[in-house]
Structure formats: structure tokens, C-alpha cells
Amino acid sequence: MQATVVTPSANALDGLIDLKTYPLDALDSETGRELIAECRRQLDEDGCVVLKNFVPEEALARLERETERLSPDAHYNQTETNPYNSEGDPSLPANHPKNRFDDRTNGFVAGDRIGRDTIIRQVYENPEFQRFISEVVGIEEIHRYADPLADLVVNVLREGCQHPWHYDTNEFIVTMMTRQSHGGGRFEYAPGIRSPEGENFDEVEKVIDGDRSRLKALDLQPGDLQVFFGRYSLHRVTPAEGDKERHTVIFAYAKEPNFVGRPERAQRIFGRMAPVHEKILKEGMQRSDSLAD
């Protein structure tokens, strides 16, 4: 069920993000238009834009405490997965990407565990923030997920946890680093390696085999906001190192209203399903594309 929209005050984002550098409250100003143009340029270039220090220094400690408080609610799942979160295909060669499995161990705090009083939910549900993301990705209107588990998520990586090569369910993803591990936890990606027209399995196989010629890597830090076209860019997070957890908030938006993730994905990631997923199991689900995941 979609969360009820809260009408924000005029200064709802004050103190939560750096409005001087990132004027989300004045996107129609010259500075606001320049910000949108630069973000779009970077997205056009390689499918990713990182807004450094999006959260001001004075709010970082509060933000980190918030995800630290939420992290014990993370559901951890260890599994062997291919880039498509699917079963292998015995009709294909062993080195085919669909038959290439790696360890995926990480935790996710589901959206229904994240209260309305949290910084991250206030940002997620803020109309100015939502409009900013819409402008950046070049979509006239975007919608918050109707999925009560996957709308707003905190990803938690303990030592040794990783998210191997994969694609995202939605075309773009918005994330905010809130806590970095002592080592590892590096975000790597192959921009636009597939498209709605094709999977490009040969190039995907090269990446899995260790070819780094088309890879990019990001040194994300707490307070950084990332907008990423993860539906078409193969990406991973390398294993976290040390006894400090890596926390990343995921703000989920979609082009269509009432978007809900696949029931089996909810069960795998959160260890449970919501009533809306149970309903989908009975009635079936349709997707707007025919990609492998």
C-alpha cells in the first residue's frame, strides 16, 4: 500500500541536505537549471552521477546514527546468484553468464521498518527531492514504489559481505551512502552493457572473467548521493572489510505508478512477503520489458 504523502514545510529539507550547493528548493533558478544540466550530462556519459557531500557535515553524524539504529532489523541472506537472480540454464555452456554464480551475502532493512520520523524517509517522500530526481533522469513524472518492503531500504554489509555482479529491477536507482566500511565495499560498474533490445551476453561474460576495460569504480563516502541507471549497467559491491558495517540507503522510484517487486525477490531479500506480494502470486505479474531478470 502506498504511503500517504506528507505535505512538507517550506524548509523541510533544511539541514538534511546542502541546499546551497544543491538548490532543490529552487530548481527553476539559474543555479538549479545548471545543476540539472550537469547531472544529465554525467548520466548521458556513463549512466551515473554522484553528488558529493549531498548531506551537510552537521547532519552526517545524525544520519549515521539513524541507519546504525535501523541496521539490527536487516534480514541477511546468503546465496549463490548469477547476474540475473535466476536459475542456471543447463542448455547453455558452463561459462555463459546465466550459469556464472557467485556468493551474495548482505542485509536489507525493509521499508516498513523505517519510520516516518527518520531523515531518510523525510527525504524520500519530499516532493522537491522527487521532482529533482525526475528532472535528473529525464522522466516527466516518477512515482514512489507501492511496495511496502522495497520502497525505502537500508543495505547493510558486514565484514565479508558483498553484492556480486547484478542488475537492478528498475531502470534507475537512487542511493545515499551513510556509513563506509574500513575497507572494501567498492562500487564497480559497466555502463550500459545491456539494453531493452538485448542482453549482450558476450560482453557480460568478459566482465565476469575479469576484463576491466569497460569498468568504472566509485569511491563513495557518507553523505554522497548517487543516481544510477542500474537496469542496464552490470554492477557490484566488492566484499566489505573490517568490523565497521557499510550502510547505503536505497530510494526506490519507478516510471509507472503502483510498482511492486516480484514476490520471490521480496522473499529472498527480506525473508518475507507483504500482502501485496501474496496477491501477485495469486493473480500473476506483468513486466514492461522482457529482460532476463
Return the sign of the alpha-carbon dihedral for residues 23, 28, 34, 39: positive
- Grid cell at residue 133: 530526481
- Grid cell at residue 131: 521532482
Grid cell 527531492 in the structure block, residue:
129
Q: What is the pLDDT of residue 28?
A: 96
Of 34, 2, 5, 191, nearest to 112 by C-alpha is: 2
Of 68, 58, 52, 51, nearest to 16 by C-alpha is: 58
Task: Compute CA 156 distance to the chain's CA centroid, rounded to the nearest angstrom.
Answer: 12
d(CA 252, CA 124): 8
Q: What is the pLDDT of residue 282?
A: 86
Return the sign of the alpha-carbon dihedral for residues 76, 79, 81, 87: negative
Strand partners, 76: 107
SS3 sequence of 168-192? CCCCCEEEEEEECCCEECCEEEECC
pLDDT tens-digit profile, the chain (293 residues): 344 444 444 458 999 999 999 999 999 999 999 999 999 999 999 999 999 999 999 899 999 999 999 999 999 999 999 999 899 999 999 999 999 999 999 999 999 999 999 999 999 999 999 999 999 999 999 999 999 999 999 999 999 999 999 998 778 999 999 999 999 999 999 999 999 999 999 999 999 999 999 999 998 999 999 999 999 999 999 999 999 999 999 999 988 899 998 898 899 899 999 999 999 998 876 555 556 66
pTM listed for this prediction: 0.87
Beta pairing, strands 183-184 & 240-241:
antiparallel
Q: What is the pLDDT of residue 87?
A: 93
d(CA 276, CA 42): 36
Domains of the chain: 24-283 (2.60.120.620)
Question: 3-state class of 12 per DSSP?
Answer: coil
Q: What is the pLDDT of residue 6?
A: 42
Contact 33, 27 (CB under 8 A): yes
Q: How far is CA 48 from CA 94, 161, 208, 221, 271, in A?
A: 32, 24, 21, 15, 30
